[in-house]
Structure 1
Amino acid sequence: MLGAAGVPHAALIRYRGASHSKVIPPVRPAQPSAPGRFRAALAESPPLWWSLLYFFCLLCGYYVLRPVRDAMGASGNVADVFPQWFVSWAAGAGWDLAGLTLQVLFSITFVAMVVLQPLYGALVSRFPRRVFLPAVYLVFIACLLGFHWMFDREWSGRGAAFFVWTAVFNLFAVSVFWSFMADVFDNAQAKLYYGYIGAGGTIGALVGPVLTRVLAERVGVDNLLLISAGFLAACLLCIMKLRPWALRSEQARGEASGEAAMGGSVMAGIRLVLSDPLLRALAMLMFFGVGVGTLLYNEQAAIAKANFIADEARTAYYANIDLAINTLTIITQLLVTRWLLRRYGIAPALLLPGIAIMFGFALLAASPLPMLVAAVQVLTRSSEFSLGKPARETIYTRVDRESRYKAKAVIDTVVYRGGDLSFVWLHKGLAAFGSATVFAAGVGVAGLFLFSAWRVVREQPPAVVGAPTAT
């Protein structure tokens, strides 16, 4: 009689001595270590190599820029952020622009997202994947070259323009990346590989701030932009290498090829989000997830502005926070994410971060200490990157291409920045009553985030059983 592992049960394996019998425990096959599982995954899936490199280069390029962006947002000198005409207009209108820097920047970012979304929808609808994917990254590279020129000449308003552009770049580029991954991998492969792909991105997110810390004062902020452009150029190479694997995966799943233009309305993404229960739940999850992050981000910005006067000091502060977040993220991605998704599905990966964030905000409401704020920030963002994000992205392997590219882009950009805009102004009102009030409200927002995660778990489509894979 065999046990579940295909070996005899211990109770049935005995040898008899002179006066007693002894049970011999079964010999179970040794489980491979985490590095062993990773090497096996790389060996069985060639596209995993290119996906890892792709996400590494994308996030490394972004995290070279992020500390520069955050330092701009936390700057106490509005003349370094906004164009002179806007500073003069705000002063004439009686605005305290120094106290509204983040609120104004987030508002402009949301408007930019709303304006760009139809343009992206038109690009996706009218051109095949081999055209619109490289086009997105080529536009971003061209923008970085333009910002290099602006920073080199200390162009007025470069801080605000760069802050808004970096936010747009991050959301669109990362959203396009994960949409493409859902073309390359099916649902079963996503549960196996997305944790590793996320870890590749996290390594890039670790390397990026290090490059910024080492090179910012040596080569100048303007030349950091050229380094980021080089990483985006490497992303283009990865896209070309992964294209054949996307075609094979689509063929194996019986899907329409991405080599043909998708067609449909440029506004189809918004219509899908409003009409589909799963996409609505994902939009709610994004909105309230952004909410808890934005409340924390603004408290962190206030601390940085009060404690770090120089731009270089604030940049180093944000770089250190990013290093702590990404260290915890990569440990979780390599040791927990793959096992959790394969064994239990998306439910714990979506629900556990919400529970942890509620607990963290409750602690902050009782004792809003600066170091505790930083610790909860690390917990919030690392749980999102290592658990929440991979779990959400596996869902998009089970929806049609229009939902994957158009609706997902709406959720990842417009809904995301809509959450930013809503909660950055909410924070402004709550901050007048003190940090404890901000964090008490955050407990309620975290509760809505947890409820949204539960809705996503309930609405998720069933996995296709027995679908062919393309490794």
Structure 2
Amino acid sequence: MSAAAPAPVRSGLRGALRQSPPLIWACLYFFCLLSGYYVLRPVREAMAASADPSAVFPPWLIDWFSAHGIALQDFVLQVLFTCVFLIMLVLQPLYGAVVSRYPRRVFLPAVYVFFIVCLLGFYLLFDSGVPGRGMAFFFWAAVFNLFAVAVFWSFMADVFSNTQARAVYGYIGAAGTVGAFLGPIITSALVQRIGIANLMLVSAGFLTACLGCIWRLRLWAVAREQEQQLASGETPMGGSVLDGLKLIAREPLLRWLAVLVLFGVGIGTLLYNEQASIVRRLYTDPAASTAFFSRVDLAVNALTLLLQLGLTRWLLSRHGIAPALLIPGFAIIVGFSVLAASPLPMLVALVQIMTRASEFSLAKPARETIFTRVDRQWRYKAGAAIDTVVYRGADLTFAWVHKGLSLFGSHAVFVGGLVVAAAMTTAAFGLLREEKKLPGERPE
């Protein structure tokens, strides 16, 4: 079976769907991916906010900390983020080896098959109540969220040109947001009836559907590469397993992008940790905290969907990526200024909703359009390194920064956040200067 490369996209969702058949499969792919993740996200969040370390960590780890005079319940997030970062350092070279040695038709399905197998393993762990399953699941969810989504956006840059990406990424993001809506609803409706273990199987079903979408979309990626005489993704990229990190060190645009992600994640981590501290004080019941995080997720997704359908495409198509990168920074500065003056729990939740929604609906699609204009080494290696090692390195760094600032109270956390937000906005300006030097379409 063959497929023609996507044509330029007309305005409006109907026109886009008629003229760009791969858009349907891209939307279904992202819908299933985020549905599968958001089914499990409230479980992860409740574990991270738990005041009881025995609900998360294995007994031997709790005993080890206790023997060294450390109360593990005071460092739950810091320990989790430290371990996640170390896991990323191990997995990034492995991922680099896979994308270097195997063609797209092999490594794309392999990534999702790996995550499906892991979910089947977690079904057994949760079904049998193995101690320490909470910590293992938190690690897996953090890795899955970054690698699976990073692979998705890299693949989209194989399918769509820069012009098409600016026209359709808002719609693709909206489809993912609908999936992110569905996930918490499924969890709320089913968790009491079928239990956490069976939610793993529900998520695995969504990821299996992603494999079918990958197979279909690969046809258009191949057609695009043949039509425009681009380097084929059906052959291995070659190179070193550490090429991604080397590219970031060498290329100014990638350095600015890494700095932008570093401080952007830093903002989110400060806010996430402060919110977790508040939830830990207000809710002692895991079910109540899970319900709270489900409501926050639903609010984030509602605002994200409104922005994606009403603003993202218009901004990217008419004004390029600059507004989409800068608006979140200025909004966060305003939000953190309010919190520094009055850090009320409800305001923290509202700023969290605004921060995450602006990242998902504006900043993330804007950053991803850049990768339609660069070669595959940048997309699959450097892009993945930024989305994994840099991302989790920022999580680790700012989890400990939060721990230090929190000693002086919530006001200090949000004043520190203002400094980080200013640095993020500065990095956005630096990225925009380098982005202007790129050609209109990616070289291969």
Scaled to the shorter chain, the TM-score interval is: over 0.9
Aligned to 1:362: 337
Going from structure 1 to structure 2, the CA distance change for 1:467 and 1:260 (only over 3 Å counts) comes to: closer
Paired amino acid for 1:292: I
Aligned to 1:283: 258
Contact preservation (8 Å) 1:395, 1:461: no
The reply to whether residue 41 of structure 1 matches residue 16 of structure 2 is yes
The reply to whether residue 352 of structure 1 matches residue 322 of structure 2 is no
The reply to whether residue 375 of structure 1 matches residue 359 of structure 2 is no
The reply to whether residue 325 of structure 1 matches residue 316 of structure 2 is no
Aligned to 1:409: 384
2:66 and 2:439 mapped to 1: Cα distance? 59
The reply to whether residue 63 of structure 1 matches residue 13 of structure 2 is no
Going from structure 1 to structure 2, the CA distance change for 1:149 and 1:197 (only over 3 Å counts) comes to: same
Find the partner of 1:90 among 65, 89, 100: 65
1:279 and 1:90 mapped to 2: Cα distance? 39
Paired amino acid for 2:160: F
1:422-467 alpha-carbon deviations (Å, 9 max, x no partner): 0000000100100001000100000000001111111115565589
Aligned to 2:135: 160
Contact preservation (8 Å) 2:373, 2:441: no
2:402 and 2:442 mapped to 1: Cα distance? 47
SS at 1:172 equivalent: helix
1:122-168 alpha-carbon deviations (Å, 9 max, x no partner): 00000000000000000000000000000011111100000011000
Going from structure 1 to structure 2, the CA distance change for 1:188 and 1:462 (only over 3 Å counts) comes to: farther
Find the partner of 1:451 among 426, 436, 439: 426
1:315 and 1:283 mapped to 2: Cα distance? 32
2:252 and 2:440 mapped to 1: Cα distance? 23
1:383 and 1:258 mapped to 2: Cα distance? 32
1:67-95 alpha-carbon deviations (Å, 9 max, x no partner): 00011111111111011110110100111
Matches of residues 73-84 of structure 1 in structure 2 within 5 Å?
73-84=48-59
Matches of residues 84-233 of structure 1 in structure 2 within 5 Å?
84-233=59-208
Aligned to 1:273: 248
Aligned to 2:404: 429
1:432 and 1:310 mapped to 2: Cα distance? 25
Paired amino acid for 1:42: L
Moved over 6 A (4+): none
SS at 1:82 equivalent: coil
Shift of 1:306: 1.1
1:250 and 1:429 mapped to 2: Cα distance? 50
Shift of 1:253: 3.2
Contact preservation (8 Å) 2:373, 2:440: no
Contact preservation (8 Å) 2:99, 2:380: yes
Shift of 1:251: 2.3
1:134 and 1:304 mapped to 2: Cα distance? 38
2:51 and 2:344 mapped to 1: Cα distance? 23
Going from structure 1 to structure 2, the CA distance change for 1:465 and 1:150 (only over 3 Å counts) comes to: closer
* Structure 2 gap ranges (5+): 1-9
1:290-330 alpha-carbon deviations (Å, 9 max, x no partner): 00000000111011111111111111110100000000000
Aligned to 1:442: 417
Aligned to 1:398: 373
Contact preservation (8 Å) 1:253, 1:467: no
- Compute the RMSD of aligned alpha carbons: 1.4
Count of matched residue positions in the alignment of Structure 1 and Structure 2: 434
The reply to whether residue 52 of structure 1 matches residue 16 of structure 2 is no
The reply to whether residue 385 of structure 1 matches residue 377 of structure 2 is no
Shift of 1:254: 2.5
Contact preservation (8 Å) 1:398, 1:461: no
Aligned to 1:7: none
Contact preservation (8 Å) 2:296, 2:353: yes
Contact preservation (8 Å) 2:99, 2:236: yes
* Structure 1 gap ranges (5+): 1-34
1:405 and 1:211 mapped to 2: Cα distance? 32
TM-score by length of 1: 0.91
2:442 and 2:75 mapped to 1: Cα distance? 53
Larger gyration radius, structure 1 or structure 2: 1
1:126 and 1:350 mapped to 2: Cα distance? 34
SS at 2:231 equivalent: coil
TM-score by length of 2: 0.96
Paired amino acid for 1:452: A
Contact preservation (8 Å) 2:328, 2:363: yes
Paired amino acid for 1:432: L
Contact preservation (8 Å) 2:375, 2:442: no
